[in-house]
Amino acid sequence: DAGHLPAARQLPQGLPAGVFNVVTGKAATIVGRMCEDARVRAMSFTGSTEIGRLIASQCAPTMKRLVMELGGHAPLIVFADANVEKAADIAIAAKFATSGQDCLAANRIYVERPALKAFQEAFAARIAGLKVGSGMEPDTDIGPLMHERAVAKVEEQVADALKLGARLAVGGKRHAAGPLFFQPTLLTDVPDDALIMREETFGPVAAVTAFDSEEEVVARANDTEYGLVAYVVTENGARQMRLARALEYGMVAVNRVKITGGPIPFGGWKQSGLGREGSRHGMEAFTELKYLCIDTAA
């Protein structure tokens, strides 16, 4: 009963009882019941591609409408005409926000060979300056990972990349701040067959590799089951438009990082999701189209 809640927690005036509900408990049990219940006509889920596939299969018998924002494995492509300092700032923001635990995180960083050395130096200096610590401290840049499995996965990806010939430029191991902390890390010369180039990272590890042509980097960036967001840094206007069309991603950010907001049709292609969140497009999965045909003849 909203009337018995403290003033600060009361429901918005006019919102009917039962419209907004919070259900807590074991996720698999709760979601499973929602999936199988025919009264639930649409579901929206944000999470991993693995769980998204499971939910979609459980919803198939009742033919529910689905909106899913799933995993990402974003490429960040830096061309030689870009301002190196600006590109390094963009890479820091795109990779290390929320300690790299973000579906929008730039995990695969491709740099055109003439700019590679300068970019890596600028990027490495910024990574080395990131502060690791408690998220309650206002000047902390990198906090803990969500659980031990996440730390182990990051360790595995780093070890695999080094085994395949990548070079460690910064970091590379657990941080002394605690068992769930990992050092902000930069790997260079990372081969495309390394785990970190094939799997979503979800941690503070950046992988950098070189490319030599636009056609080559587009093919490498698209060679993934994911398609949520891609980042492009170039001052060439024609190239900006070509890349926006050629990259198989639901969202492409050019010379910037922040792309979210209420008016934005947020969502991905391929295994990164179904439908969109936000904007008028975000309402489509929650509406049904009805066609009415009336014969008005006498």
Same domain, 130 and 212: yes
Give a yes or no: residue 39 inside a domain: yes
Same domain, 124 and 246: yes
- pLDDT over 80 (residue 7): no
Give a yes or no: residue 55 inside a domain: yes
Which of 277, 229, 251 shows the shortest CA–CA distance to 102? 229
Question: Is 69 designated active site?
Answer: yes
CB 91 within 8 A of CB 206: yes
Same domain, 27 and 40: yes
Tens digit of pLDDT for each residue in 71-128?
999 999 999 999 999 999 999 999 999 999 999 999 999 999 999 999 999 999 999 9
**Chain centroid, CA 65 distance in Å:** 23
Structure token digits, residue 157: 């990806």
Give a yes or no: residue 102 inside a domain: yes
Same domain, 51 and 103: no
| Model pLDDT, residue 12 | 57
Q: Could you tell me which residues are beta bridge partners of residue 43? A: 66
Same domain, 92 and 159: yes
Stretch (H or E) spanning 25 = none
Give a yes or no: residue 291 inside a domain: no
**CA 30 – CA 33 distance, rounded (Å):** 5
Between 4 and 167, whose confidence is greater? Answer: 167
**CA 218 – CA 110 distance, rounded (Å):** 10
Question: Is 293 designated active site?
Answer: no
Same domain, 94 and 217: yes
Tens digit of pLDDT for each residue in 41-73?
999 999 999 999 999 999 999 999 999 999 999
Please tell me which residue in 50, 59, 85, 103 is annotated as part of the active site.
Answer: 103
How many residues does the structure list for the chain?
Answer: 298
Which residues span the domain enclosing 274? Answer: 18-70+265-286
Tens digit of pLDDT for each residue in 213-236?
999 999 999 999 999 999 999 999
Residue identified by tokens 């990972």 is 145
Structure token digits, residue 176: 């002394």
Give a yes or no: residue 240 inside a domain: yes
| Model pLDDT, residue 80 | 98
Q: Could you tell me which residues are beta bridge partners of residue 112? A: 211
**CA 105 – CA 95 distance, rounded (Å):** 5
- pLDDT over 50 (residue 145): yes
276 pLDDT band, cuts 50/70/90, is very high
- pLDDT over 70 (residue 252): yes
Same domain, 178 and 203: yes
- pTM for the full model? 0.90
| Model pLDDT, residue 2 | 43
- At residue 209, φ and ψ (nearest 5 deg) are -145, 160
Give a yes or no: residue 280 inside a domain: yes
What burial letters (b/e) apply to 73-112, b meaning 16+ CB within 10 Å?
Answer: bbbbbbbeebebeebbbbbbebbbbebbbbbbbbbbbbbb
CATH number, domain at 206? 3.40.309.10
Give a yes or no: residue 8 inside a domain: no
- pLDDT over 50 (residue 1): no
- At residue 116, φ and ψ (nearest 5 deg) are -60, -50
Mean pLDDT of all residues in 155-171: 98
Please tell me which residue in 35, 69, 112, 200 is annotated as part of the active site.
Answer: 69
| Model pLDDT, residue 234 | 98
CB 11 within 8 A of CB 20: yes
- pLDDT over 70 (residue 8): no
Structure token digits, residue 1: 């009963």
Structure token digits, residue 55: 């939910």
